[in-house]
Structure 1
Amino acid sequence: MHTSVDIAPDRFRQVMSHFCSGIVVVTASSDGVPVGLACQSFASLSLDPPLITFNVARTSRSWPLVRAAGGFAVNILGAAQRATCQVFAVSGADKFAGLSWQPGGTGAPLLADALAHIECRLEAVYDGGDHEIVVGRVVALQATAEPAEPLLYYRREYRRLGGHG
């Protein structure tokens, strides 16, 4: 039996902020121009076949360009990349200005100093209310061998393991 519950978006956001997440930047090449967006709703989905998932707001101006590219990279950010995250979290401007990156096998930008890169082909996109649920098939991946802390987001603040960012 389904019952309708009226939940205010601000209250939902506040309660969900109690879940700590890592932050990624999803990048692609759109007609030779690098594009990207910050995302905290990233997760592994399947080992066989290797699939990942993330959710993106329908209002994103970068997502249609990433989607049209068909291939993208997920750049897992480290604690020192807070400024990079903030650049990719807003619309407009050249998000890649001053950033060091190189194209991956899919053509998608791989951000320097990211903890890991996961290159994917777009597998599927599903309806998720005011978001789209994206599934990517992993085609290549790499991770830094150096020990490093992830960039975390918790209760609407950037965090590090053991404290504030």
Structure 2
Amino acid sequence: MSNVVTIVEKLVQPIVEAHHFQLVDTVYEKEGQSWYLRVYIDKPGGIDIDECVLVSEQLSEKLDALNPDPFEEAYFLEVSSPGAERPLKTEQDLQNAIGTYVHISLYQKIDQSKIYEGTLLEVTDQTLTLDIKIKTRHQTKKFERQNIAKARLAIEF
């Protein structure tokens, strides 16, 4: 499966760059009886449906022209926005998220919790620093990057 994702990312990257979009993620997965190829794109200010259709059509043409076909099964192609709570997967994603509200999930509990949300203050090679609100107080907390399972943007309530 990772081979398919690699092939698709090489095909879609020039398309998104030509339109000044960003490739956020590519996922090839089975749900029930069906396979889905999901490509998530974004740009500053957000991506709209017409831009998703544009990328979908151009990518579909390139996928249809592949020989040999890397897909063993029929699949559904979905090109969409990653949403308001988009994942932060790359170093650039993390750097761009400084000053915004984020959600992190940890591999191991720290202070009896594996989930934290707060404003991302700093990103280094080793740590992420968040300003976390606990009841009425703010606390600055550093998290070792090796202990972070997932990071994404979050909506603050």
TM-score normalised by L of structure 1: 0.23
TM-score normalised by L of structure 2: 0.24
Structure having the higher Rg: 2
Larger RCO (alpha carbons 8 Å, 6+ apart): 1
Instruction: Judging by fraction of residues, say which structure has more helix.
Output: 2
